[in-house]
Structure 1
Amino acid sequence: MDKPSALPGFLIGEQLPAETAAATPVDLVPAPTYAAVDPPADGIGKLVPAAKAAGRYPYAADRAGGPGMLYASLARSPYPHAALLRLDVKRALEIPGVHAVLAGPELGVTAVEYRGQCVAVAAAEHPALARAALDAVEIQYAPGEPMLDARQVFAAARRTGNDARISAYRRYTLGEGGDLAEPGPEESTVMYGYEFGRGADPAAAPGAVLAVPVTGSDGQGGLQLRGLDLHTASSDPARDLHAVAEAIGLPATSIRLVPAPFTGTRAGDDPDLRVAAALLAVRTWRPVRAEGGPADRLAGDAGTPAVRVHATHRVDAEGTLVAVRVELVVDGGADPAGAEPLLDELCRSVVGPYRCQDVEIQGWVVRTHNPPAGPWPGGAAMIAAVVSEAQIDAAAAACGRGPLDLRVKNLIRSGDQLPDGRRLVGSVPLPELLTQVLDTTMPPFPPGPDIRTFPGTVGRTGELTRVRRGAGIALAMVDLVPPDLGEEFATAQVALTSDVNGPLVHVVTSMVDTGNGQHALLRRVAREALGVRRVIVRRPANPDDLPSSAIGPGRGTWLHCMAVQRAARAARAQALAKIAAQFAVSPQLLEIRDGMVVTYDGTLSKPVDEVYPQVLRGAAVYVADGEFRVHGGGEPSPGVFVPEPGTAHVAVAAYRAVVDADTELHTLRPVRVTAAQDAGRVLLPERAEAAVGSGVLTAVDFVFNAQAEEIDLAGAELGGFGALGPGQFPTMLEQPELELLPFLESSIGELDSTMLRRRGFAAPLPLGYLPLRRAAYAACAAALACATRDALESHPTRLPLRPWG
């Protein structure tokens, strides 16, 4: 029976050819085994975080090198702006065991553009030899006057008309474009400027990159360089791939980014590490391993924020939001291209989850002599939430209404427009989430008698009469599929077979489990589609067997889950072909529910325990490939999820934070965070709770990071970060109590999407579940800022918070 043209489920008639045909099994590579680290068969793998906390986790920097491997070391500039007058590597090359030394123009560096920029690299047979080679390199600088403040650079560009340092500009308007020239007699206007520094990002271990050259025959009996394998962890693969390709002079198609799960640090910390390893590998034709320790972390100017936002909101006497005008400047550093995605997202979401008829948003990215702007932790949703909630609080005070009343009156709803003109589709259950939060009780006040519950904790305890309590409610909205998103895809292979213990499923995917339960989620998806308890997830021995594109943050798990689901359904259709013939239906019309093989309408069924022994007799193997693609816009095509034109899918959250402030000692303590989130569909409750907890921890660390003392991580000039850099993680005494309310599951399910599409409604996101961590981070940070304003009875406009200044 041919594949029918209309089947129940998502993406009707858009199954890929590989989903219905048998596939050749790829070679499997077993996951690295570590006695104290391997995650259990189910759950999110609690042993992995425990091993990290105990210092027993096998990071990449801890693993021994292989035969023929070289070790790289980097020399960095101590100046943010300087000319290179002299570079001499002769003495370094004379050291035995040193294979290559590159400096200055060989690295594409003719002048220093930021402090910590790599100006020389060396590859040797031992790390100590590589460091000695760099010590022998003669480098002479001519320091210049750096431009570190993005606001000054932007003002100078406007004054002189020279926009050479303005790398990007965005403008969105709705209605009359936020015209605030002539306020009405009963209208109130609030205007504030906000500054955001980069939060703490301390590395759990030194970052490590392994570059392996790929050679092949040149057709004349010799060898030629054909490509490069780069083993690294990357939060922005597209950016990193472009940077490496431009540096080594090879096309991007010949460079393969191989996900490395054991790096211990974020890719945005050190963009030079990958380029250095790649250049040395191409020069020496040998594998090169580069590591970056605490001293290699890039330090910008601690006194200049990375993002500045100037927001003006106008409300009428009844509290209705009439007009919004926002101008924002993003410090892109020496390579501002990495800041443009942040600018795009911030311009689209800075109004927050509130409706307004007249909006004007303008944003700029400015090039300075600060380090290149990598991916912002959590994206722009946190900045947008903090700004919008602070403006709502200020507008409520200006018009004499309560902050909660103003929020409820202006809540965005399904069908409302965003600043870029897209309309929200699907469920936007902000009223339900807000009701959940308001129905919970407040923690008792005053704190005590345990002094550890005071804002200063042990050793910095003030008088109880000087402790003030503040509470704040914040709403956050995260854009899931940006309109400018290029095509992203993931692939997977599923094999259904059996052994002496019964049915068994093998899932092969390039998805890396970092200890956050990614593979547990893949097992859940495969188990749900095939009804088999035992599911093993592995990575392919050759990553080319299952290619995947560069995937942005927040979408990797979603894409791989969909790829696994499609492959599992294709394998299921192959295995149930005989049962489908008995039922006289197409195999694609069979599903597995509650241990039964049933037709889509539930009229015919048969127990799985009877079906699988029959179809898997003789250790039969059914293998199928699955692929899932997503694109931000354009014409729909088979197998690609494209949001309907002019629509937006969002995830929302509502949080309440309670903060105690000691007005004498200028200390803050978060007491409790109450979280309510729309999860769409909860596939793995334990992982969902862990994601929310991780987002809350990150938000607490960012908002209150400025209270930590300035420390010198490396004992060197490059180590100081000041108030806007990594001080310390909040201790266990400073962690707030997390009250996680039951998740709201608003997904309508895949079986209903066909009917809704026929009625003219937009289909939901595939798989139904929504990412939680970004929304938790954004809403929690905004709620903590609101609670701090309430406790201090002031309007601080800088994050991380500095309540004394």
Structure 2
Amino acid sequence: MSTPTSLPGFLISEQLPDAERGAAQPVESELAEYGPNLTEPSPATGDGIGRVVPAAKATGRYPYAADLGAPGMLWAAMIRSPHARAVIEGCDTSAAEAMPGVHAVLAGPGLGVDQVDYLGQCVAIAAAEHPAIARAALSAVVIDYRPQEPLTDPRQAFNAEPIHEDGNIAAHRFFTTGRDAVDRVAAAAELRKNAPSARRAEAFQGLKPGRGPGAQPDSREPEGGDGAQAEPEPSRSVSVIHGYEFARPANWPAGPGTVFAVPHGDAIEIHTLTVDPGRDRRALAAALGRPEGEIRLVPAPFTGGAIADDADLRVAAALLAARTGRPVKAVDGSVGHWPAGTAEPAARVHAIHVADADGTLREVRVELVIDGGAEPAAAEALLDEYCRLAAGPYRVPKVEVQGWVVRTHNPPLAPWPGGGAALAAVVAEAQMDAVAAALGVSGLEARVKNLMRTGDRLPDGRKVAAADALPELVAAVLDASVPPFPPGPDVREFPGTIGRTGEMTRLRRGVGVALAMVDLVPPGLPEELATAQVALTSDVHGPIAHVSTAMVDTGAGQHAMLRRIVREVLGVQRVLVRRPTAPGALPATPLASGRAAWLHGMAVQRAAQAVRAQALEAVGAQLAISPELLEVRGDRVVSYDGMLSRPLDEVYRAALRGAAVYLADGEFRVRGSGPAQPGVFVPEPGQAHVAFAAHRAVVDADTELGLLRPVRVTAAHDVGRALVPGRIEAAIAAGVMSAASAVFADEAPGARAYAGALACAQLPTALDLPEVDVLPPVQSSIGDLETTALRRRGFSAPLPLGYQPVGRIAHAAAAAALACAARDALSAHRTAIPIRPWETGPVL
């Protein structure tokens, strides 16, 4: 049967469902219904992230993936393995296939699953006319398992029998700035050929917080117990050694996960919750055995809590849609399916920082092991980013970083909020505080003394293009006000909140300052692209611009940013952003989280510039100047040198007479390395583009009960260019909130015995979250900044539109600052993240 070529009603910027009739109504009607106070702020300023999306969510009319539907849609269901490791010796689906209303059943080998690799793995799927029928069909499937002993401890993976044909070590990285590039490559190649040495393997097996692998006492390292710190001597350096553990990231969903798949001939369009569409698209193409060009991944809006759908759910929906030729909605209600074995930390880090007696960092050595579970792709990306940023935004003459990703029978690692940048920031900032304590100085003094400068090298050898914003960011958070102490009189301001467990006599305040950075264009980044189409025309109300883009507005103001770009380029206040009506009209969106706004913004900007050149061709001829040299400034069309100008409304009246239409396409590409090409952003060889942020966190602790309460996080960011300030503030606040959850919230004791049951999770509430103070952003780049004159002003090889992923770096910086503040409040160097109140105990 035929299927629709598009899914109307999914994008909030396109239309919203009418609550009374269930039909679609345009955005303009929604704005009129909400009233003038709920519309976007002034189009001239572009402030805010809009009010259509928040109002639609508040009234229950926002179309999430779970609300999608199409004629002839089928429902999918799945069952999961009760074993962490087992061989599937046989399965019988005949009874299920014979049930009325069932259209497809795939199980075991028919699904491509001959053996179970982790508890909760999908082993059978069914598509039917009704979800209850699909579930009933799966209950009739018979699967014969032969259970085996699983490998769940990542430390044992080095010496255990291989559980994969490629071995238990999925990835290995080795960087050092103490040797030249040729030696680094040779050393890394040699280490990849061999398993870790016995010393390293044994050390990792015995790794505990406060002590880790690869540490050998020498003249520079202290004697003593876990995390011992040497007393500084005038002629000696000091070393601090700590081992850190990071629990698997909580991915608690606010509701059942939903994936919607629609077949389009040989292609499949999949609507899913994702934070890395590029990686997920590649994984989905491999699982389906199809070319990536046949997979169109449409990111769905976040529903809160979980940040990505289960990969098995995507594969199930796509397989059944391809098998039946009909749209399929797959809903996963088993929110507690994540398996046992997750008690093992997802990452173990051992760090050694060596500093001179005056506080100057001399050497940083880091080793880490990441548990990739049964599918290590996400863990490899995490490892790569961590290794590049391991030393933090500090000047260190010698850095040695070595890390592994190992395979186990634990579930695949869920997307890590903040990525490797968050892990690197937490460890680096904790180590800086430890160095400061060993030297008897403040953590701030140790940080300022070692701040990174422009041209300093990252562990992979690349030079940082611009680090001039760091001192300004640090100064900004220090100048901001601090919450009064002691808190009160409202008891909700105490640790323990309304339970009245916090007492003034036991209350201690901790303050932590942390810096973080994010690598904007990794060297191994494959080429990513975005395209857009802009049309300029007029109606009875005057000029209007239409933008066609594959970028989805998930409620974070992405389309508000695109409207602001078009308004600046064309000077048109009415801008409509829509998704193309045909899925093939624009390419899929294989963009990683954070880069989507940058790439789509540049594509829209270039399309708008091409439209402007067409519309201004006539006035350019009158002024005897190329239309490419004309700009729109306010209400006038002005030459590049400002010498010639015309009123904008007069120019548009002439150019748009008779409802003329000017149409142009725009494209922008980015690649991590390689030769520069027109229209492709490639960093200069050996250069790293890094974004920075500085956060200060205030945490109160009840030192007897071990209760912690984050009070306030002050955030200072280099945002590049603040196109939509409201969107920047919202993204930073969201990053801070997710960081607070990652540092302080965790499962309750014994929850892991219930395989991650949602009822056993300690989810943060409004009382657990800190106040967020977002300082005026530092803007380090303006526009394209392609001219030599602007480079002389300090803008070295700037990124187009000043792109900065403020949400990701906010999570990294806030997590590090909150952890530092908690340690300060407890007067103890806690090294397990999240910091669990029931494990801290009294602090004397």
Note whether the superposition's TM-score is higher than 0.5. Answer: yes
- Given candidates 2, 5, 17, the residue that maps to 1:34 is 17
Note if 1:245 corresponds to 2:285: yes
- Given candidates 544, 556, 566, the residue that maps to 1:504 is 544
- Given candidates 102, 107, 111, the residue that maps to 2:106 is 102
- Given candidates 353, 362, 367, the residue that maps to 1:327 is 367
Contact kept? 1:165, 1:366, Cα under 8 Å:
yes
How far apart are the structure 2 equivalents of 1:300 and 1:55? 35
SS, match of residue 419 in structure 2: coil
How far apart are the structure 1 equivalents of 2:8 and 2:759? 45
Q: Which residue of 2 aligns with 1:408?
A: 448
Q: Which residue of 1 aligns with 2:766?
A: 732
How far apart are the structure 2 equivalents of 1:749 and 1:290? 43
- Given candidates 196, 201, 205, the residue that maps to 2:246 is 196
- Given candidates 681, 701, 706, the residue that maps to 1:661 is 701
How far apart are the structure 2 equivalents of 1:120 and 1:340? 28
CA 1:435/1:239 → structure 2, altered by over 3 Å: closer, same or farther? closer
Note if 1:720 corresponds to 2:757: yes
Q: What TM-score does the superposition give when structure 1 sets the normalisation length?
A: 0.90
Note if 1:44 corresponds to 2:40: no
State which drifts further: 143-152 or 387-396. Answer: 143-152
CA 1:750/1:238 → structure 2, altered by over 3 Å: closer, same or farther? closer
Q: Which residue of 2 aligns with 1:175?
A: 178
How far apart are the structure 2 equivalents of 1:230 and 1:267? 16
Post-superposition shift, 1:644? 0.6
**Match of 1:197, as an amino acid?**
A
**Match of 2:172, as an amino acid?**
Y
Post-superposition shift, 1:181? 7.3
How far apart are the structure 2 equivalents of 1:95 and 1:263? 34
Note if 1:781 corresponds to 2:815: yes
How far apart are the structure 2 equivalents of 1:568 and 1:335? 42
How far apart are the structure 1 equivalents of 2:267 and 2:533? 26
How far apart are the structure 1 equivalents of 2:683 and 2:256? 40
Higher RCO (CA-CA < 8 Å; seq separation 6+): 1
Q: Which residue of 2 aligns with 1:112?
A: 116
**Match of 1:203, as an amino acid?**
P
- Given candidates 258, 263, 267, the residue that maps to 1:213 is 263
Deviations 1:542-594 (A, max 9, x none): 12112144101110011001000000000000000011111111111011112
Deviations 1:174-217 (A, max 9, x none): 125999875455110111111112333332332222223333xx
Note if 1:587 corresponds to 2:590: no
Q: Which residue of 1 aligns with 2:276?
A: 236
Post-superposition shift, 1:669? 0.4
Counterpart mapping for 1:292-331 below 5 A: 292-295=332-335, 297-299=337-339, 301-331=341-371
CA 1:109/1:332 → structure 2, altered by over 3 Å: closer, same or farther? same
Q: Which residue of 2 aligns with 1:681?
A: 721
SS, match of residue 458 in structure 1: helix
Q: Which residue of 2 aligns with 1:637?
A: 677
SS, match of residue 387 in structure 1: helix
Q: Which residue of 2 aligns with 1:10?
A: none
Post-superposition shift, 1:307? 1.2
Note if 1:62 corresponds to 2:112: no
Contact kept? 2:85, 2:117, Cα under 8 Å:
yes
Contact kept? 1:247, 1:275, Cα under 8 Å:
yes
How far apart are the structure 1 equivalents of 2:87 and 2:59? 45
Deviations 1:48-101 (A, max 9, x none): 3455466554322234x4332221100101221122234211221221111211
- The alignment-based identity, stated in percent, is 60
CA 1:317/1:721 → structure 2, altered by over 3 Å: closer, same or farther? farther
Post-superposition shift, 1:330? 0.9
Contact kept? 2:550, 2:589, Cα under 8 Å:
no
Note if 1:351 corresponds to 2:391: yes
Contact kept? 1:703, 1:784, Cα under 8 Å:
yes
Post-superposition shift, 1:672? 1.2
How far apart are the structure 2 equivalents of 1:352 and 1:281? 46
Q: Which residue of 1 aligns with 2:319?
A: 279
How far apart are the structure 1 equivalents of 2:92 and 2:160? 37
RMSD: 2.7
Give the gaps of 5 or more residues in structure 2.
20-26, 32-38, 42-47, 185-213, 221-234, 840-844
Post-superposition shift, 1:324? 0.6
Note if 1:479 corresponds to 2:519: yes
CA 1:32/1:260 → structure 2, altered by over 3 Å: closer, same or farther? farther
How far apart are the structure 1 equivalents of 2:82 and 2:164? 32
Deviations 1:264-313 (A, max 9, x none): 77574411111111222222222222112243653453321111111010
State which drifts further: 501-510 or 231-240. Answer: 231-240
Q: Which residue of 2 aligns with 1:223?
A: none
Q: What TM-score does the superposition give when structure 2 sets the normalisation length?
A: 0.86
How far apart are the structure 2 equivalents of 1:710 and 1:48? 39
Contact kept? 1:299, 1:720, Cα under 8 Å:
no
Contact kept? 1:269, 1:297, Cα under 8 Å:
no
How far apart are the structure 2 equivalents of 1:363 and 1:229? 37
Contact kept? 1:28, 1:508, Cα under 8 Å:
no
CA 1:526/1:435 → structure 2, altered by over 3 Å: closer, same or farther? same
Contact kept? 2:393, 2:516, Cα under 8 Å:
yes
How far apart are the structure 2 equivalents of 1:514 and 1:180? 50
**Match of 1:147, as an amino acid?**
L
Post-superposition shift, 1:761? 7.7
How far apart are the structure 2 equivalents of 1:205 and 1:613? 51
How far apart are the structure 2 equivalents of 1:322 and 1:566? 46
CA 1:705/1:140 → structure 2, altered by over 3 Å: closer, same or farther? same
Post-superposition shift, 1:767? 1.0
Q: Which residue of 2 aligns with 1:569?
A: 609
**Match of 1:126, as an amino acid?**
H
Post-superposition shift, 1:142? 2.7
How far apart are the structure 2 equivalents of 1:379 and 1:440? 28
Contact kept? 2:254, 2:305, Cα under 8 Å:
yes
- Given candidates 75, 82, 85, the residue that maps to 1:71 is 75
Post-superposition shift, 1:380? 1.1
SS, match of residue 728 in structure 2: helix
Post-superposition shift, 1:486? 0.5
How far apart are the structure 2 equivalents of 1:46 and 1:180? 58
CA 1:330/1:446 → structure 2, altered by over 3 Å: closer, same or farther? same
Give the gaps of 5 or more residues in structure 1.
1-25, 216-225
**Match of 1:213, as an amino acid?**
P
SS, match of residue 672 in structure 1: strand
Post-superposition shift, 1:372? 1.2
Q: Which residue of 2 aligns with 1:747?
A: 781
How far apart are the structure 1 equivalents of 2:442 and 2:830? 19
Post-superposition shift, 1:378? 1.7
Note if 1:93 corresponds to 2:97: yes
Post-superposition shift, 1:506? 0.5
How far apart are the structure 1 equivalents of 2:40 and 2:492? 39
Contact kept? 2:320, 2:328, Cα under 8 Å:
yes
SS, match of residue 552 in structure 1: coil
Q: Which residue of 2 aligns with 1:434?
A: 474
How far apart are the structure 1 equivalents of 2:7 and 2:503? 63
Counterpart mapping for 1:549-568 below 5 A: 549-568=589-608
Q: Which residue of 1 aligns with 2:581?
A: 541
Note if 1:466 corresponds to 2:477: no
State which drifts further: 670-679 or 371-380. Answer: 371-380
Q: What is the aligned residue count?
A: 762
Q: Which residue of 1 aligns with 2:828?
A: 794
SS, match of residue 451 in structure 2: coil
CA 1:41/1:505 → structure 2, altered by over 3 Å: closer, same or farther? farther
Note if 1:385 corresponds to 2:390: no
